[in-house]
Amino acid sequence: MSGPIRGALWITLANMFFTAMAGIIRHVSADIHPFEIAFFRALFGLILMAPWFLRLGVASVRSRRVGMHVCRALFMLGAAMAWFTAISLMPIAEVTALTFTTPLFASLGAALFLAEKVGLRRAVAIGVGFAGAMIILRPGVEALTMPAMAALASAVFGAVGMLIVKSLSRTESPATIVIYVGLLLTPLSLVPALFVWTTPSLEALAWLAALGLVANLGHMPFARAMASADATAILPFDFLKLFFSATMGYLLFAEVPDVWTWIGATVIFGAVLYTARRESKAAGPPPAK
């Protein structure tokens, strides 16, 4: 099986897990605050990854850029809390569509703060992508709600996290980056969770443990997808996430996305795909080994 086909299958499987993750969050949020859900997701994720951490040993946490790791963990926490809040309060497909803007925010941030060159075509594509978000939100026609703002905030925080990873990857190994975020997220997420704490029932605790498991299972095929092929080859299949989210929202929560969500999501995703292809061409072929 060729690399692009393997990548397409892996990213499809990852999106199934991520969609299931959103469904669990929506279900549990009826009794547990999203901030507390974020804590338990980090806690159970850390517990499940502990054997891997122990196998890598102390050397994997040696870093001269601990401050950057802390910054990344804080932005990832912000992204998680905002996303969990949005999932608990608005249609899942609409949240998914809005979070497609994350790569666009990352491209914009790279141009503004990392001095990366953005040509006219990429700049237009980024503008078109944000126009797609406005199609979904329709400010002036529909009230701009707090859940919608939370979804966009999640995209912004996630984009900053991506830029920090880009910086860290120049000096840190992938394992060190993953370990630090795993170790830091649990204590950091506990602080906001304590302000809204509700002792979960055994049933809710089982769902929260399942959330940690499903989230970890989603990241494994996602990583394999990225390793199997160039991002531009598998990115089109990421759009399946919207179909999975819409199907689950309809079957489990009687949610029906309106036509503007589909139109806006298509515009956003088209802009993301074009931007990714432009960045791939600008990077050129990989160096010969």
Domain extent listing, the chain: 3-283
pLDDT tens per residue, range 214-260: 988 888 888 788 777 776 677 778 888 899 999 999 999 999 888 98
35, 69, 70 from 218: Cα distances, Å: 21, 22, 23
pLDDT tens per residue, range 82-94: 999 999 999 999 9
Environment class of residue 38 by beta-carbon count within 10 Å: exposed (0-12), middle (13-18) or buried (19+)?
Answer: buried
Q: How far apart are the first and last CA of the chain?
A: 24
pLDDT tens per residue, range 112-144: 777 777 777 778 888 888 898 888 888 765 667
What is the pLDDT, as a whole number, of residue 237? 80
125, 133, 234 from 128: Cα distances, Å: 5, 9, 21
pLDDT tens per residue, range 8-47: 888 899 899 999 999 999 999 999 999 999 999 999 988 9
Tokens found for residue 278: 């432009």
Which has the closest alpha carbon to 148: 189, 95, 191?
A: 95
Between CA 211 and CA 282 the distance in angstroms is 38
What is the pLDDT, as a whole number, of residue 287? 46
285: number of Cβ within 10 Å: 7
pLDDT tens per residue, range 260-284: 899 999 998 888 888 777 766 665 5
| Main-chain dihedrals φ then ψ at residue 139, nearest 5 degrees | -60, 140
